[in-house]
Each structure stands twice: as C-alpha cells, then as structure tokens.
Structure 1
Amino acid sequence: MTISLPLTLGLGFVFLWLWKIGSREAGLPPGPPTLPLLGNLHVFPKHSFHYQFTEWARQYGGIYSLKVGPRTAVVLTDVAAVKELMEKRSGSTADRPPMYVAELVTGGLQMALARYSDKWRSLRTTAHTILTPQASLRHIPMQRAEATQLLHDILHDPETYREANSSIMSVLYGKRSPRYETRQTAAFYKMFHVWDRLTAPGATPPLDAIPILRYIPERFAKWKQICAQTRRDQRKLYFGFLDETRDRVQSGCENGSYMEEVLKRQDELGLDTELAGYLGGSLIEAGSDTTALYLKSLILALIAHPDAQQKAQEEIDRVVGDHRMPALEDLEEMPYIRAVILETHRFRPVPPLLVPHRALNDEEYKGFLIPKGCTIFVNAWGIFHDPMLFDDPETFMPERYLLTVNGTKPELEMDASDLRPNFVFGVGRRSCPGIHFAQHSININVMFLIWAFNFSTATDAEGDPIVVDTFKYEKGIVTGPSPFKCKITPRSTEKAELIESEFVESGGYVLEI
C-alpha cells in the first residue's frame, strides 16, 4: 500500500513535534540533558528535591532550567538572581504554578498555594490588615505563656515533646490546644500531615505536566481518594472553627481574636464565607508546624554541637541569671543567642525549597530567558549551603553571624539585604504575612529552651551514646528532623521551680478548648 506524500509529511511533522517536546528551548538557562517527551522527568528525584537541585546548581550554575515534559522550571540558587527576579520584579513572579491537587482539596483557596488572582489578593490583603507588626506586639504575653507551657511539658515528660498549635489557635480563634492529644488538635495534625505529604513534590503522579493522568478513575488512583478525604477533614475543621467564632461574636462573648475581627469586617474586606474559612485554615497551617519544626532542628543542632550550646548558655546566664526567666527585650543584649537563631535558619531551613512561584511574563536575566508560565524554584538549602558564600557550611557555627550581618564570608562584599536570613519566610509578594508573629514565637522559645535545659545525646542499653543524625529529615514542603533520641534535663533546681511558678501564673491567660 502506497502512503501519500501529504500523509508522510504529516506524520513527519507529528514525529518532529513529539520529538521536540521535552527539549530545552533556545534562550533558556542551561541544565541537565533532556529526553524526548520526558525532558528531565527521568532524573527527577522522588523526594528531598533540594539535595539534587543543589547538586545540579554546582554543575550548571546558580540559575539553570529543567524540562518536565513540555513544561519549564527554572531553579534559582543564586542570591543576586533571587533578589532581582523575586524581590525587585515581584510583580512578574508572584503567581503560583497550577497544582491540581490543591484545586481538588481547597478549590484553589489555600493562600500559600493559590494562584495570583482577585481571590488571592483578598486573602492576602486581609492577612496583612490583621497581622501587622503592631498587632503582633499585643500577643507577646500569650506567646510567652505558650512557651512556658512547652517548658513545663518538657520538664515533666521530656520523652514526649511534640508539636502543638495552641499559639496560633489562641491568636486566630481565642482557643487553646495546649495538648497534642486535644480532640481538635489531634484531628488537625492527622489531616495536616497527610495534606503536607500530598502537596510535596513527587507525592503524586505528574498531574500538572501530564494532565491526562487526572482522568484515571478514583478506584485506581489512591491519591484521588486521599484528596477527597482531606477536603472533608479540612472543611469540617476550618468551617467548624469559623462557625464557633461567629456564634461567639453574635452572642457578645468576644475574646479579641483575629478571626472575630475578620468576621465583623467581612463585607469591608470583601470576604465571603468560603474565603473567610480558608483564610483561617491557611493561617493555622502556616503557624502550626513551622515553629515546632524549627525548634526540633535547633535542639538537634545543639546536641550535635555542644560547644555552641555551652556558649549560648553562658551568654544567657550572664544576662538573665537564675532568678528570673528571659524576656523578649533581653535578646538585644545577647548577640550569640541571636546568632544561634539565624544559624538554625541557615543550617536547616524549614522550607529547604520555598513554595514555587510562576512567571506571569517573559523576563530576561543575564542573557537568559525566564519564560512566561515557567515554574520558579528558590533553592534556600542550596544558597545557605553554598561554600562560595559560607565557610564550612555543613557545620553549625553561630559565630559566622557575629563576623558578618548575613553570616557570609568576611571577604565578600554583600549588603545585609542581599541575603536576609529570614527569606525562608518567603520572597516578594509571597512572603509570609505572619512573619512578625512567627519571629516573636521563635525568639521567645529559643531563649526559654537554652535558659532552661541541657540537651545531650541519649545512651543505649549498653551505655553507649546514640549519635544524632543531622541529615535524617522528614519528607514534605516544610520539613523537620525525623524522631531522634536525646536527653533533656533542667539546668538547675531553681530554674525548674521558676518554670513551675510561671506556668501557674500564666495558665489562665487564654481560653481552653
């Protein structure tokens, strides 16, 4: 059978078109070799992307590209590129890439993952309206009470230190959840850990790169079943909290929480019930895990580097002593403790990769094309562990922040704004609106923990030390150490008595669930 010339040419064009899918277009930054159709999918890591992304950065440079089927991703592991593209040109890089999983679960209303739209702007504007630096100062006494609760829990049961979201719940809804086992707290964390894993890169098939995978029947797609259950669990919690708050406002039993203000100004702020519910939910998610994960990394680092722990304790003892607990204003007199706080962010950033952005327009940077619609990853891990920027980056060394304001090598000429240690809270228009609240919480908790306890290695049945692994971390967009054994002891009887005393005094500060 003779094949006609038009058919032959048509088949040839189709073949060439398919062959080009996955190839790197002209003008893109360099990157790993691609395969037809797949691009770089065949070499994409299944989890812990930041390790492979950093390895590629050392090979291809601080700005390189990846092909995920027909889609393009650009990875930034360069401080100047982050400052220029994500801060100075934030209007062009403020979008999020489409995430089908987030659409299924939240309808696109989870603030951190939402696309750049009018609905996102309403959420963002409201968050900035209520989470001002001045407003965050009002909640320092509550944060101190919550930090005291943590010390009290560790003092009485150091083996069972776990996260709790009482601080952010108190601020948002005027409710305490001082125990992990509290009904709503347990329900939240059960849902949240599933949700966090579900949104982690590699957790589901490449649904956004290969959309046809979305049409797999639910009975053959476990990820669809998990999405459906997570949506039910989220809505039961978030809209339940909202209904309780609305009932309190209507009955005149207000307690000054943020969400009360949101409900009273709902029309002014342009929020319907869906937006209000997911605003509260997004803020709970943002504030529930990050501080706890940060503190676990701090404890892990102090155990692995006892010299740093000793220096921090000596400084806090000089400033605070044994006869009172630290106050937030004491931090101004403790440069080494401030350095410990910054070094923990650098050493083990809670988000090793910032939540990816998406380019709204074509941008040119140093001769490279950053095309409209591409996904942009900011590789915080790679930047903070760059040996060109930091001496011995794999060592926990707070002293680096005593030498230079951003911890980089003294011989480098860098402005303080070039590498903000707190850029782990996000960049550009996507930076965390609750950064002031989060920083107060971290500062208070770090001072309290270092003042109160000694952290050291545990021992096994034979009496040998159980060495902690500073690289053994959980999977997820935000991540903390996998469970590890350690020994936590109060530094003195007087400190233990002060903890007990302040715990009793602060116990009635906010409402219990």
Structure 2
Amino acid sequence: MAILLPLTLGFLCVFVWLRKVGSRESGLPPGPPTMPLLGNLHIFPTEFAHYKFSEWARTYGGIYSLKVGPGTAIVLTDAAAVKELMDKRSGSTADRPPMHVADVVAGGLNMVLSRYSESWRTLRKTAHTILTPQASAKHLPIQLAEASQLLHDILCRPEGFYNHIRRYANSVILSVLYGKRAPRYETRETTAFFRAQHEWELVLEPGATPPIDLIPILKYVPERWAKWKQDCAKTREMQRKLYFGLLDETKERLGQGEENGSFMEEILARQDELGMDREMTGYLGGVLIEGGSDTTSYYLQSLILALVAYPDAQRKAQEEMDRVVGDHRMPTLDDLEEMPYIRAMILENHRFRPVAPLLVPHGALADEEYKGFLIPKGCTIFVNMWGIFHDPELYDDPENFVPERYLLSENGTKPGVDGSDLRPNLPFGVGRRVCPGIHLAQNSININAMNLVWAFNFTPDTDTQGNPIPLDTLDYHKGILTGPRSFKCKITPRSAGKADIIEHEFLEAADTFSKFEFGLSEEDKEFVMKSRARH
C-alpha cells in the first residue's frame, strides 16, 4: 500500500499533464480549437500552408496561435504586427525555430535557417561585407550581359523560356560568387543546382516532414523506415558535391593567379580575418546560390505568367516603355525613374505571387507582449506574406494582377486605408533576417522586367482549333519558396528592329562573358561558339 499510493499519484500527475499538452496556454492569441496532446497538429497543413493560414486569419484575426503538440506557433497576418514585432523588436524575434532536418542537411551552417548564434553572426557579417550596394554595382556588367543572353535565348527558342530564366538567374549568381558562368541550362553546375534545390525545398516545406523537433524520439527511427532521413541524406550529398566543388575550383584558380573579381575570391583571401573556416565558406556560397537562383527565376516566371493572363497590364507597360525608350535601343536602369507603371508592375508582381509566401519561420528569443497577447519565448513565428498581400481589407480585388493600385497609393492599398506599415522590400524578409542579397536581386528584377516588356509580346498558347488555352495562375510548386509550374505561352518579338538589337547586344556581350568562361565542358564550348557565330 505504501508503494501503491505514490505510484497512483504519479500516474495522476502524468495524466493531468498529458491532458494539458496541446492546449492553448493563457495569454496566447486565439486560434483553432485544439485536441489533447496534438493541439492543432491534426489540422496543420502539409502543403501550401499559406492558403490555410490565410483562411484562419480571416476567422481568428491578424495574430493568432497554433498549438503543435507542446509547441506554439504564432501566425502574423497583420502588417502592423509584423512591423512592430519583426522589425522594431527584431532583437527578440531574429532566431529560427529548431529545424532538425536543416541541421542534418547543412550542419547548422545554412545562414538562412541557422539559429541566432555566433556562427550565424559571422556568416551574416561576411555576407554583408561582400553584398553592399557598392559591391553589387560592380557586378552590373555581368548582369546586363546575362540579361542580353536571356533575351537572345527567348528570341531563338521561345518555347524554352522557363528554363532560359532559370539559367539566367543561376549563371548571374555563379559568376558573381565564383567567377564562373553557365552558358546553357544544361551546364553541369546549373542542372545540379536545380535538382538539389528541388529536393531541399521539398524537405523544408512546413508539414512535409514529421514533427521531429517536437517529438525528438523520431530522430532515432531507422533510416529504412524514415523517408525523411533518406531525403535529407540525398539532399546533403547533392549540395556538398556542388558547393564544395565550386569552392575548390575557385581556390585552385586563385592559386594560379587567375582572379576575376568574384565574391568568393575575396572571402578566401580574407578567411582568417573574417573568421570563416572551410565548412562555413562552402555553405555561405551555397546559400547565396540558393538565394540568387530560385527566387529571381520564380519572380520572373511569375511575371511572364501575369503578363499572359492580364493582357491589359502588358499593353499599358508596353505603351509606357515605347514612350520612354522607343524602338532603337534597349532600356537601362536609369530609364526606370521615368516609368511609374512598370515600377508599379514590379511591385504588384511581388504582391500578387510572393516567392516566399510565409517567408522563412522565425523564432522568439524572449517573451514579448503585443496588444495584450503573449508571444512566448521559444515559439515559432510565421509571417504570412500571402495573407497580408491578399487581404481584401487592405487591397481592392487582391486576387487579380492590378499594377494601377501602386499608382493610386504608395503601397497599393485601398484609398483611405493606411498602408504605412507596409514597405516595398517586405517580400525580401523582416528584421535582422532581411535577405543580404537584396541589392543584387533588385537589379536583376528591374533589368529583366524592363527588357521583357520592351522586347516581346506574351500571349496564351492555343489549341488545335486556334482557341486560347486559359492559364491557371495558381498552379504553383510546393515548397518554402514557390513559383509557377512550367507553363506554355506564345512569345514573339515586338518588331524586327528589336530582334536585330537583341542579336547585336548579345554579340557585344561576348567580351564580358569571356572573363567568366573557364572549365566549360566540350558541349558548353560548342554551344558558345555556335551561338556567337555572326550571320
């Protein structure tokens, strides 16, 4: 009897504790009803989470909570809350939630996903050192040259525009980082990157893997029974082969005195000063390739999708382009100042189809209070960009592509609605986690948005009877970053004169390209030779 009583009390205590697991603690924002132990885990979306998060925001408000087992997630679908908690109080919200799968793949050295630690601060400081606006401006020549090839590729093979854009984005960042370009989409480094990145994004999508961080015992499930472990191992191998292979090539080229001004040359030369070892340097280069390839290509693919689906917007952008630039030259970045509609179109594309609809989840380093709600230390914070940018209380007709909204108000909001809590670079992140490559990315976006509008007409593909085939503007990839699935459209040059200018500009770019063309395969060399043969 003396033993039975303590055991009974112990079981009762465990039972009471288990009943509380998954329930919403006092002070948290409201949210969907919970179940014992699971909390909201049973209804947590496993793909395209931003749609469900936005639906819940219309019910529970711009700040609500989810219980994921014993853990807590806070979802922000309110621009004022994002500005206050993520920007103004960024010292408390700059962490990332524990992400075991990211640690398995990248050893905790993926700068975007790593915890708020000394390693992260070193990586971030190094990235800022090499990605200043002044440093980014030095790389405009290769961006402009690659943009001329993008136009030339589309002119010659319009049906391949989707991969032409991917090649452009990847080649720019490879050139800037490693001084080595990719003349074709089939170039080894480019195809290797996009294969690895596809696997990486699937691993990272919210809900795509078991709740390992909440139920740590899942880490010990044998790999043969845990597909997520197999996926992580595959992704790690693919990433390391590419990232460290590029790093070793750059180091070898430096040793031979063949510098061409790339970012990684500077990091390798200053490794000790910057506090960077080989692992950190390899993964910093890798995360910058990721940031410069997928995001830019997804953005430009979404822009073409919007131009096809919304011909009136395309026509207005072309009319402005013709008025400012005309037929006898290509646009320049300086022209953008005189193009309010195209600036509005660029902003509207960020709003209409944000590349990172939930950004990357943040973690709270300390308790915070906001409007009477507790934001507890250790919670995960989702910034629901999709929900904010598609909020009918903020925007008229938010589900459609309407660049004019940014001509009517600075942040595109309804007349009379205060949009001051929004900022133009919000799609690039918040607080101390804003994308360090923002200046490089904005140059690429601006150059190519103008070029595409200047050069081509984008129209729907047609069926065998000649009828336009409607596009599904919501047919997007799953993942933490998202862009449209490959789609068909007709792309034709706007005039023979423009086609001639594209040919001329591409051939003129050969001198710029030559500085970045080393280690090419025989197939790449043959492609380069044929594409530059003068007619």
- TM-score scaled by length of structure 1: 0.98
Task: Establish whether residue 480 from structure 1 lines up as the match of residue 486 from structure 2.
Answer: no
Note the alpha carbon deviations across 1:200-254, whole angstroms, 9 max, x for none. 1122111112211111101111221121122122111111111111111122110
User: Of 357, 373, 376, which residue of structure 1 is paired with 2:381?
Assistant: 376
User: Of 215, 225, 242, which residue of structure 2 is paired with 1:220?
Assistant: 225
Letter in 2 for 1:335: P
Runs of 4+ off more than 6 Å: none
Letter in 1 for 2:275: G
The percent identity for this pair of structures is 71
**Distance in 1 between residues matched to 2:221 and 2:339, nearest whole Å:** 57
The CA deviation at 1:75 is 0.3
Give matches, 1:61-460, under 5 Å.
Answer: 61-161=61-161, 162=163, 163-164=166-167, 165-415=170-420, 418-460=421-463
CA shift in 2, pair 1:259/1:7, >3 Å: same
Report how many residues are paired: 511
Letter in 1 for 2:320: E
> What SS does the corresponding residue of 1:419 show, helix, strand or coil?
coil
CA RMSD of aligned residues (A): 1.2
**Distance in 2 between residues matched to 1:109 and 1:8, nearest whole Å:** 47
**Distance in 2 between residues matched to 1:195 and 1:211, nearest whole Å:** 21
**Distance in 1 between residues matched to 2:303 and 2:113, nearest whole Å:** 27
**Distance in 1 between residues matched to 2:9 and 2:139, nearest whole Å:** 70
Letter in 2 for 1:234: Q
**Distance in 2 between residues matched to 1:421 and 1:378, nearest whole Å:** 16
Letter in 1 for 2:429: G
Note the alpha carbon deviations across 1:154-206, whole angstroms, 9 max, x for none. 11111112112000011001111131101121111111111111111122111
**Distance in 1 between residues matched to 2:101 and 2:284, nearest whole Å:** 18
**Distance in 2 between residues matched to 1:5 and 1:59, nearest whole Å:** 47
The CA deviation at 1:10 is 1.8
Note the alpha carbon deviations across 1:291-331, whole angstroms, 9 max, x for none. 11001111111111100000000000011111000111000
**Distance in 2 between residues matched to 1:356 and 1:230, nearest whole Å:** 21
Aligned residue for 1:462?
A: 465
The CA deviation at 1:371 is 0.3
The CA deviation at 1:462 is 2.4
- TM-score scaled by length of structure 2: 0.94
The CA deviation at 1:3 is 9.2
The CA deviation at 1:494 is 0.4
Letter in 2 for 1:378: V
CA shift in 2, pair 1:3/1:33, >3 Å: farther
User: Of 489, 497, 501, which residue of structure 1 is paired with 2:500?
Assistant: 497
Letter in 2 for 1:436: H
**Distance in 1 between residues matched to 2:402 and 2:58, nearest whole Å:** 23
Note the alpha carbon deviations across 1:324-376, whole angstroms, 9 max, x for none. 00111000000000000000000000001110000000000000000000000
The CA deviation at 1:5 is 3.2
Letter in 2 for 1:473: Y
The CA deviation at 1:6 is 2.8
**Distance in 2 between residues matched to 1:293 and 1:18, nearest whole Å:** 44
**Distance in 2 between residues matched to 1:191 and 1:151, nearest whole Å:** 26
Aligned residue for 1:41?
A: 41
Letter in 2 for 1:365: Y
Query: Does structure 2 retain, via aligned residues, the 8 Å contact 1:96–1:113?
Result: yes
